[in-house]
Copies of this chain bind each other. A is one copy, B any other.
Amino acid sequence: MAEIKVTKCSTLTGWRYREREKVLWRRGGRAELKHGHKLCLLCSVIGNFFFGVNLYVGPRGLWKWKWSSDEVHIQGLSWSGRAAVEAELAAAEACSGHGRAFLDGVVVDGRPICECNTCYGGPDCSLFLPSCAADADRGDPLFLEPFWKQHAESSAVLVAGWHRMSYSFGDQTTFLSRELESLLRKLHSLVGNAITDGKYIMFGAGSTQLLNAAVHALSPHNSSLPATVAASIPYFALYQMQTEFFNSADYSFQGDTMQWKNTTNTTGDIIEFVTAPNNPDGQLNEAVLHGPNVKTIHDRAYYWPHFTGIPSPADDDLSIFTISKLTGHAGSRFGWALIRNEEVYKRMNTYLQLNTMGVSRDTQLRALKLLKVLVKDGGREIFEFGYKTMSKRWDKLRKTLSMSTRFSLQKIPPENCTFFQKVRDPTPAFMAAYAWVRCEREEDRNCIEILKAAKILGRGGSVFHDNNRYARLSLIRSDDDFALLISRLGRLVSQEEGAKIM
């Protein structure tokens, strides 16, 4: 393909030079009348003509671009310029630093409106809503949004109208992008958090879809004895909700692994969810159940250097990852599974085909572009950004609760991080996506209610089938959410009677 030459200059220079050029035509004219130097005029005219023409008399002239205009032309581009300008105009909405405007946002006066962070409002998100509750509930990974704004050029992707309309990729057989698959293998080897050799890779709409696909693939079929599905308390609520809601005859959720620890020699299959690091408490869990009839699904959503140390690469039979907690793109719904057994892989593939016919090709294209940014520098930049952000947040959180006798935080043994090649802060410092807070007072049996009364939204222990003395606070949300959380916690602690003296 021939090279394309494109030039850089401000969008305004073309206009300025157009004005200046008019002046110079007049000068040229006066010069001729006064001195009549023909050759001189010739030089001037030729020079002005060639450059003047190029400056603003293109095939369709100089366009003044307006939102919703039909006429957009960018020097150096043919059909893609309009989409690029639309995206830059949406991105140009500052929203006071407390929100952002999206290309597909609700349009008012021909422009997408600002979508504000929690507790901010007004047309430009500049209005703080003092009575609003600090949101530390959902694991919305917006702490990485600033990273992507800093890497706007390398992470942007333009989707052509005819991009991948077919059901299958070029090889006519799969729903998976081979380029994306090889990039995922490269990423794992760079980060050192999983061994992909000898493993199949399956894509899903986030880890959410893959979790149930895995349960389905590991269950017996047309057996009178459905598989028992279990997880260790505290566990992520979705495991149970999914299994119960889809109500398959092939498997049934039976709660905590502990009750099955000494009965794994039963004839029925047992499927254990092992979440490492664990959601909610960040512990690097290991399988509790073992035996010939035990199958394990490792949920590795948080096994990345910005949430935990990576003592060694995982080499699970079946592990599940997601970009939601890797790049922060929860909205894109992209996850992948590493699968050792071919039969399990084939069953998961059938599940994906009959459930959604694979993952949106648009999403696969975007995931490819995002992961290329990570792989380019071996992940150093994003994980350092993420690690620094999370460290600062943990420092603030620990400092805020250090004087409290009412609230305590989970303890996690520091793990050596082979990625950063150093042990992270000495004990009791640790990293995790969530704070697993315990209300210590005898009377504070419902911790989430205590926090709620102080205008802090989190998730109660019972959601994770644990004691309501515990509450999960999300630390991976936006800077605004975290700042408000710390301020509300600080006020709560300061109101404690018998708080430790500094």
Q: Would you call B83 and A158 a contact (CB within 8 A)? A: yes
Task: Judge whether A160 is part of the interface by a CB distance below 8 angstroms.
Answer: yes
A212 contacts which of B9, B11, B355 (Cβ < 8 Å)?
Answer: B355
Q: Are A331 and B46 in contact (CB under 8 A)?
A: no
Q: Once the chains bind, are A157 and B5 in contact (CB under 8 Å)? A: no
Specify which of B115, B166, B241 is in contact with A354 (CB 8 Å cutoff): B241
> A157, B7: Cβ atoms under 8 Å?
no
Query: How many residues from A make CB contacts under 8 Å with B?
Result: 159
How far is the CB of A15 from the nearest CB of chain B, in Å? 5
Chain B residue contacts of A11, Cβ below 8 A? 4-6, 75-77
- Closest chain B residue, CB of each to CB of A327: B165
A82 within 8 A of B: yes
In the complex, are the beta carbons of B105 and A64 less than 8 A apart?
no
CB-CB contacts below 8 Å: A31-67 with B: 31, 34-35, 37, 39-41, 43-44, 46-48, 50-52, 54-56, 58-67
A103 touches B163 (CB 8 A): yes
Contact present for B35 and A39 (CB under 8 Å) = yes
Q: How far, in whole Å, are A356 and B177 apart by their CA atoms in the complex?
A: 19
A28: interface (CB < 8 Å): yes
Name the CB-closest residue of B to A251.
Answer: B247
- Chain B residue numbers with a CB within 8 Å of A155 are 160-162
With both chains docked as a complex, state the minimum distance between the C-beta of A125 and any C-beta of chain B, in angstroms.
Answer: 11
Write the nearest CB–CB distance from A452 to chain B, whole angstroms. 17
Taking CB as reference atom, which chain B residue is nearest A152?
Answer: B79
Copies of the chain in the assembly: 2
B149/A179 in contact, CB under 8 A: no
Chain A positions 63-90 with a Cβ under 8 Å from a chain B Cβ: 63-67, 72-90
Q: In the bound complex, what is the Cα–Cα distance between A50 and B17 (angstroms)?
A: 7
Task: Tell whether, in the assembled complex, residue A6 and residue B54 are in contact, meaning their CB atoms are under 8 Å apart.
Answer: no
Give the Cβ gap from A477 to chain B, nearest Cβ, in Å.
9
Supply 10 A–B pairs (Cβ within 8 Å), ascending by A. A8-B59, A14-B75, A35-B37, A40-B41, A80-B84, A87-B159, A87-B160, A138-B168, A205-B356, A249-B249
A292 to chain B, nearest CB (A): 24
Task: Kindly specify which of A187-195, A302-310, A357-365 makes contact with the partner chain.
Answer: A357-365
Q: Interface readout for A235-277 with B: 1 if CB under 8 Å, 0 if not?
A: 0001001100111111000000000000000000000000000
Residue of B nearest to A477 (CB): B166
